[in-house]
Amino acid sequence: MNTERNVIVAGQHGRPVVLDAYYLANGQPKPIVLFAHGIKGFKDWGFWHLIAEQFAAAGFVFIKFNFSHNGTTPADPAHFGDLEAFGHNNYSKELADIGSVLDWLPSLPADESDLNRIHLIGHSRGGGIGIVKTSLEPRIRSLITWAAVDRLDYAWQNPQMVADWQDKGIYHIINGRTGQEMPVYYQFYEDFLAHQPTYDVEYALSKMSQPLLVIHGTEDEAVPERAAHYLQQQHASAQLHLIEGANHVFGGSHPYDQTILTPHAQELVDVSLTFLKNQDI
């Protein structure tokens, strides 16, 4: 298996995107799958590498990447060493990052990759931003969401919280794994408001013509199962697959020391691969 790790891709907002590419080098052009992580996520989390290897073994080029402002650095892409960058993240930057990865794809060997067969997978908030990007991007042939949010303003539903955020210019979220207080500057909310209705998930789904598969765990503690049903209802031909008993990360953890996936994660992969292979690829 060919693995290109920590490839630096120029970003559009002053920070690079760092990616990994996995594929079997056999001289056959293969469909491409991009994987977008969620908030407090990163490309080297848990078992994402095992999932990447399975997609590659199944005949895909699998690319997982760090959003440019996810709080990691190119020198240390697996730890949150730049919380200022995290604080200055917003949805415009994340959408631009996916665009930068799409623009980089011609750098792959032409005999190993098919630029006409590009698919996107997004986990958690990455699923929400994936919906918006897919609605805007004809290069993306289909979308799969894993435990996706059903709205991008999910954290800002309390008017008093928003008022305090505006007054202070900042609020913090706690990373339960590392204990870090991760800042979010008010510019994030301003960016969201400035791009309505484009950043509205319901609106994006109504504009999105590409096939959609929604996968969600029935025991998701972070994003309730009802979010998955909502996403399915907003897209004319969306498919929904519920994984009984699965949590938000499908049984994974970080670090992940096993060499095989959890049963829930294996079901996640198998269902995703079946969906992709049933597309016109």
- Is residue 164 in a domain? no
**Per-residue tokens: 122:** 């997004």
Contact status, residue 100 vs residue 72, Cβ threshold 8 Å: no
- Is residue 125 in a domain? yes
What confidence category does residue 244 fall into, taking pLDDT thresholds of 50, 70 and 90? very high
CATH number of the domain at 238, please.
3.40.50.1820
pLDDT at residue number 209 = 96
- pLDDT tops 60 at residue 146: yes
Give the DSSP H/E element, type plus range, for residue 78: none
Please state, in angstroms and as integers, the Cα–Cα distance from residue 22 to each residue in 33, 52, 59, 236, 253, following that order. 10, 6, 10, 32, 21
Average pLDDT over residues 205-226: 98
Name every residue whose Cβ is closer than 8 Å to that of residue 36 and which is 6 or more positions away in sequence.
65, 67, 94, 98, 120, 121, 122, 123, 126, 127, 129, 130
- Is residue 192 in a domain? no
- Is residue 244 in a domain? yes
- Is residue 176 in a domain? no
Domain around 93? 2-153+197-277
pLDDT at residue number 36 = 98
Contact status, residue 153 vs residue 203, Cβ threshold 8 Å: no
What confidence category does residue 280 fall into, taking pLDDT thresholds of 50, 70 and 90? low
Place of tokens 């991007």: 137
Average pLDDT over residues 122-127: 98
Average pLDDT over residues 240-259: 98
Domain total in the chain: 1
Average pLDDT over residues 170-186: 96
pLDDT at residue number 180 = 97
- Is residue 179 in a domain? no
**Per-residue tokens: 134:** 């897919």
Give the predicted TM-score (pTM) of the model. Answer: 0.98
- pLDDT tops 70 at residue 281: no
Contact status, residue 228 vs residue 246, Cβ threshold 8 Å: no
- Is residue 147 in a domain? yes
Average pLDDT over residues 161-182: 97
Kindly report the number of other CB atoms within 10 A of residue 51's CB atom: 25
Share of the chain above pLDDT 90, in %: 99
Average pLDDT over residues 50-75: 98
- Is residue 169 in a domain? no
